[in-house]
Amino acid sequence: MRILVDMDGVIADFDTEFLQRWRHRHPDKFYVPVEQRTTFYVKDEYPEELKPLVAEILLESSFFRHMLPMPGAKEALEEMRAGGLEVFICTSPLTTYRNCVSEKYEWVEEYLGPAWVKQLILTKDKTLIKADFLIDDKPSITGAVVPPDWEHILYDRPYNRGPNKKRITWDNWRDILLAPSQV
Amino acid sequence: MRILVDMDGVIADFDTEFLQRWRHRHPDKFYVPVEQRTTFYVKDEYPEELKPLVAEILLESSFFRHMLPMPGAKEALEEMRAGGLEVFICTSPLTTYRNCVSEKYEWVEEYLGPAWVKQLILTKDKTLIKADFLIDDKPSITGAVVPPDWEHILYDRPYNRGPNKKRITWDNWRDILLAPSQV
């Protein structure tokens, strides 16, 4: 069984990193606590006049490298591999790729370890990748391959709550992925 | 029809870039002209005591960004897209990924144009990608998916000559890819 695991918001805590920088840089400005987020893209949560300041943080050097791992993520990935699953980290870099691309590799090396670097796949179109499951926090994932090979399992986040898909967290992943119907 | 196109040695002239730097840096040392190369990995062509100097060049800043495009490559890619083919650039970064990863993005932006950046796929395992053809200069391409979805078409280079596979260059690609049996 081959599993693709997304990076931002799934194994790397994008939202906390953003909010910490935002609050520190702009302590008097409007902000949205992570638990109150309702849109997938953080910039969609902020009014027009603040969007350039949001982008400034996402694009700055060290943003992608300094995120903390999501609690339980590394342990889940290691347990999956130890159990014989093929696990790849599948992430779409920002279109403004400077900083983001190399920092994603640095992040994986630092937080997951050097052996995971070769499991990293960077692609704007995740439907091209052959796998059984994709664990991703983005509500809808489309691309050139319709339908994709994989089944999308939504990684549960405040901004993607809804009834429509299988939902997973690093607390319940065994029940979802290793349920008898999946093996 | 979806085509994956490799980068080094196929659309970017890796070997000339290496040899220029090698000859400039070590004018009195052993070297192998591109036309006399017989191994896929350039370091395999050099004696043990010179391998660290080879690696030094491949890993240094600007090596991947400064390669020139292979003649005809950009025109071929543009013509494929204009003809309705889905074209993705599929490349495996060095394990020592610093410089290499971000410079591959920069190279694509500079030499092919910003629209091609989102067609870029970085993966150590190309068998995971769903496509009809993979154009690559590496003689044997293996990975987790056996057999891969794609048919491997060998991009003709001095170091990969042999009778075993369909061979392509940016001069004859139309005959190979657009032959009646392929469409």
pLDDT digits 0-9 by tens, A122-140: 999 999 999 999 999 999 9
Query: Strand B2-5 to strand B133-136: parallel, antiparallel, or no bridges (unpaired)?
Result: parallel
pLDDT in tens, B66-102: 999 999 999 999 999 999 999 999 999 999 999 999 9
Among the residue ranges A62-76, A149-163, B130-144, the one predicted with the least confidence is A149-163
Residues A172 and A126 occupy one common structural domain:
yes
Q: Is A61 an interface residue toward B (CB < 8 Å)?
A: no
Q: Which domain holds residue A149?
A: 2-13+68-182
Residues A81 and A9 occupy one common structural domain:
yes
In the predicted structure, residue B32 carries a pLDDT above the cut 90 = yes
Catalytic residue status for A149? no
CB pairs < 8 Å spanning A and B = 69
In the predicted structure, residue A182 carries a pLDDT above the cut 60 = no
Dist CA B166 CA B155 (whole Å): 9
In the predicted structure, residue B39 carries a pLDDT above the cut 80 = yes
Q: How many domains does chain A have?
A: 2
Dist CA A11 CA B17 (whole Å): 38
Cα–Cα distances in Å, from B110 out to B23, B68, B73, B133? 26, 11, 14, 25
> B102: which chain A residues are within 8 Å (Cβ-Cβ)?
97-98, 101-102
Q: Which of the four pLDDT bands, split at 50, 70 and 90, describes residue A180? A: low
- Average confidence score pLDDT of chain B: 95
Listing DSSP states for A138-153 in one string gives: -S----SSSS-SSEEE
Q: Which of the four pLDDT bands, split at 50, 70 and 90, describes residue A34? A: very high
Residues B129 and B102 occupy one common structural domain:
yes
In the predicted structure, residue A16 carries a pLDDT above the cut 70 = yes
Dist CA A181 CA A178 (whole Å): 8
Residues B90 and B171 occupy one common structural domain:
yes
Residues B112 and B151 occupy one common structural domain:
yes
Q: What is the dihedral of CA A12, A17, A18, A19, to 10 degrees?
A: 130
Helix (H, G, I), strand (E, B) or coil at A172: coil
Other beta carbons within 10 angstroms of residue B75's beta carbon come to 11
pLDDT in tens, B8-27: 999 999 999 999 999 999 99
- Six-digit token pair at B83? 């003809």
Assign residue B173 the CATH number of its domain.
3.40.50.1000
Q: Is the pTM of this model over 0.80?
A: yes
Residue from the list B88, B124, B130 with its beta carbon closest to the beta carbon of A130: B130
Residue from the list B86, B93, B125 with its beta carbon closest to the beta carbon of A144: B86
- Six-digit token pair at A156? 């549960």
Interface test with A, best of B96, B101, B129, B146 (most A CBs within 10 A): B101
In the predicted structure, residue A118 carries a pLDDT above the cut 80 = yes
**Total residues belonging to chain B:** 183
Q: Which of the four pLDDT bands, split at 50, 70 and 90, describes residue B164? A: low
